[in-house]
Amino acid sequence: MPIEKIHIDQFLELAKKYPVIDVRSPAEYQHAHIPGAYNLPLFSDEERKIVGTAYKQESREKAIKLGLDFFGPKMRRMVEEVEGIVSSQQSAAGSRQSTTVPDCELPTANCILLYCWRGGMRSAGIAWLLDLYGFKVYTLIGGYKKFRRLVLDTFELPFQFKIIGGYTGSGKTDLLKTLKQNGELVVDLEDIAKHKGSAFGSIGMPGQPGQEMFENLLAMELRSQFGSRQLAAGQSAAGQSAVKQSAISSRQSESSLTANCPTARLPTADCPTADCLWLEDESQRIGLVNIPKPVWENMRRSPVYFLDIPFEERLKYIIREYGQLDKQRVLDAIDRIRVKLGGLNAKNASQLLEEGNTAESFNILLQYYDKLYFKALHNREGINSLLHVIPCKSITPENASQLVRQSEYQPQTP
């Protein structure tokens, strides 16, 4: 089975079902990678440095010989690692019925996808080894660099958003989950960022991804709501000429692999009633990461469905959500916003929390965040036409139905 070089759209379609191997160094992989990829580095970080130095200061031939010295002793271990990855993935797939890409049958179960930085010698070397052993190997034309181009182009696509607004404690994240369960298209920015968006947002959460990895995850989540072929059409409509040519080449090469894959409709200039995505209203910065500028600007132009929930109901919700968190970490968070909160408010909030009076402490904090959100909400152009207030008596999954009904009556912004 010959090694095949494929374009990014086909690569991502195959990646829905088969293992993706990143052969770059551990440091490169740790910085950011294609979501879901395994790391099988051809070189360690130090070996990569040695080979790179030889390439620049001596010759290409010297660098290749050094690379072979490093590669040779690893060959058997690499083959066995890939066997384990394939076996594990096949076992997982066999234990459940796949619904990700129904009717998309691929040529072989012994399939591996490889990429390096630019689709060069590192992926070619490991592809040769795995092909020799008997795997069906695909390599990514342009490598990780091409994937990053796709990520950035994705953010420029004309997505139509519906923004869930509301003061802190309105249960917006819970509503996103309910909307998703009800079949709506949803992107949970806080889940991707692993942060709840406030000074307290990191408490009880895993570590955040870096900025580049956050962008990779976000782009794949956006694309997962639609099909790659529909997205390629949207990129064309948005004027992405280079991506358009890549997508055309990819479609020609992928033949029938994804012909039967169902997709939602991506909004274009010719399709104003296309499917919309629900997002929670956020600041551009979520913890340590930033929402990419094109997505952020799109969000600020999108209609906001504001859940108007009484203060007392929201305070109860916040106490349930945050009242059981590590007290010292909450106190540390209060200290970080001391200047903005005001010295007296910060002192009182901390003291009340230490005394066990969580309700009064959070009352102070909630009033602060209400003022902050009000300012951010109205600090956008055309807010009077974008804002749709939805009165709600309490925080309940039924609010999701109100959101959907209200949004159906409102025309989408261009």
Please say whether the beta carbons of 265 and 271 come within 8 A.
Answer: yes
Query: What are the helix (H) ranges across 379-408?
Result: 383-386, 399-408
Vertex 268 angle, CA 263 and 272, to 5°: 100
Own/partner contacts of 105-108, CB < 8 Å, gap of 24 or more, are 106/14, 106/17, 106/18, 106/257, 107/136, 108/1, 108/136
Amino acid at the residue 38: Y
E strands, 246-353, are 277-280, 285-286, 289-290, 304-308
Query: What are the helix (H) ranges across 226-292?
Result: 228-237, 241-254
DSSP three-state, residue 287: coil
Among all chains, which residue has been given the structure tokens 């002793």?
73
Residues tagged active-site: 116
Letter string b/e over residues 349-381, b meaning 16 or more CB atoms within 10 A of that residue's CB: bbebbeeeebeebbbbbbbbbeebbeeebeeee
